[in-house]
Amino acid sequence: MSWLACYLLLYSGLFLLRRDVTCEEYQNVDSTIKLQDVVVLKCAYPQTSKMIQLSWRKNVDGVKHIVAVYNPSHGAVISPPYSQSVSFLSSSTRGDLELRATAADEGCYQCSISTFPEGALLKQVVIINPDTFKKKFSRGQAADTQVLLIPGNNVTLSCGYLNGSNVIQLTWQRMAEEEINMIVNFTLSQSFIGYDYRRRIQYDSLPYQNLTIQNATTNDVGTYSCHVVTTNGNWTKTFDVGMEGEQSDVPPPRIHATAQVLPEGASYPSGADLKMFLIIGAVAFGSLTLVIGAVIIICVKRRKKRKGNKKQFEKVTTERSNQRRANPNSYSNPDTYDRANYSGMEQQEEAIYANL
């Protein structure tokens, strides 16, 4: 191993020694992931401050095991036990790892980012076997409410527990097929916000009855749950959050809720589809308007032309009639002649051509 790799691993180990925790001691876990052939460990450096160094480690009974280290100046180093199974994803600056996992990779992992001026950022991730994951996070019933999000907009979920109840604990989680993300875990002694949501959620007041996720993305699609423990009993409500324009197999909601509710099999068209329909409709309407306008103009012109021809014909006919009345023997009226003088004209012509 090169001196640079030794330096990075030693520096990371000394940094983590001051912040050593185990899964049992760390009650608030940011993400719980189901063990499978390929597991992605997401650290997601927020890039709001300068990164000094990023490192991943695995905690086993309080013992630190360095998995990987990334330094912006010196690059990435993978610890020898993981060199064949771990690699940084395409963008190392985000700190996401790809792990080709086996049963031995179950356990608690921690991503630590040393930044300036914010200091240390920590994210706790747990990998558990599929059976435990299914038992712990199985839905068991349909979601209470279906909500559609539009990327870039905010999406608000309302837990809606009974008024007047004294809240002992309230937990918001996002559940997917392979990962569970903690959003909020509120108790009387603490208020924990998950690593991925610390800069993205809004709430009216404690204890987070109405939860707003700002600037929603496709990564926010999934099933959300709100679990409340009160002095009057427990309350759990689930939300199926999908993309607007996509079909959902979620059954119709069982109760009324403040979020948007859709009947079974229904979906709203996407913004792109609506825009396309509007454009096609506008083009069709404009083309139809032009055709109708052209037909109307042609008909009007033809009608005017016919009227003009009729008037011209009547004018010419009237003039000819007037001329005939005024000059009945005029050569301009070849069909009218003086029958009384016709024979005299013939006699004159015969006298002019007599034989001498």
Q: Which domain-ending residue is among 110, 131, 152?
A: 131
Domain presence at residue 323: no
pLDDT (tens digit, 9 = 90+) per residue, 247-258? 544 444 443 333
Number of domains observed in the structure of the chain: 2
Q: Are 51 and 115 in contact (CB under 8 A)?
A: yes
Q: Are 13 and 59 in contact (CB under 8 A)?
A: no
Domain co-membership, 156 together with 117 = no
> Is 349's pLDDT higher than 50?
no
pLDDT (tens digit, 9 = 90+) per residue, 294-313? 889 998 888 888 777 777 77
pLDDT (tens digit, 9 = 90+) per residue, 89-140? 876 677 899 999 999 999 999 999 999 888 888 999 999 999 988 887 766 6
Q: Which domain-ending residue is among 226, 243, 260?
A: 243
Domain co-membership, 119 together with 182 = no
Q: Which residues contact 237 (CB under 8 A, 6 or more apart)?
A: 144, 145, 159, 160, 225, 226, 257
Domain co-membership, 120 together with 172 = no
Residue 221 has which token pair?
């699609």
Domain presence at residue 317: no
Q: Which of 179, 172, 220, 141 is nearest to 41 (CA)?
A: 179
Alpha carbons 136 and 173: distance in angstroms, whole number: 13
Domain presence at residue 88: yes
Q: Which of 273, 271, 218 is nearest to 241 (CA)?
A: 218
Q: Which domain-ending residue is among 102, 131, 160?
A: 131
Domain co-membership, 146 together with 101 = no
Structural domain span for residue 110: 31-131
Domain co-membership, 159 together with 123 = no
Better-predicted residue by pLDDT, 343 or 246: 246
Domain presence at residue 3: no
> Is 54's pLDDT higher than 70?
yes
Q: How confident is the model at residue 61 (pLDDT cuts 50, 70, 90)?
A: confident
Q: How confident is the model at residue 260 (pLDDT cuts 50, 70, 90)?
A: very low
Domain presence at residue 174: yes
> Is 8's pLDDT higher than 70?
no
Alpha carbons 344 and 332: distance in angstroms, whole number: 22
Tell me whether the omega of the peptide bond preceding residue 207 falls within 30 degrees of 0, making it cis: yes
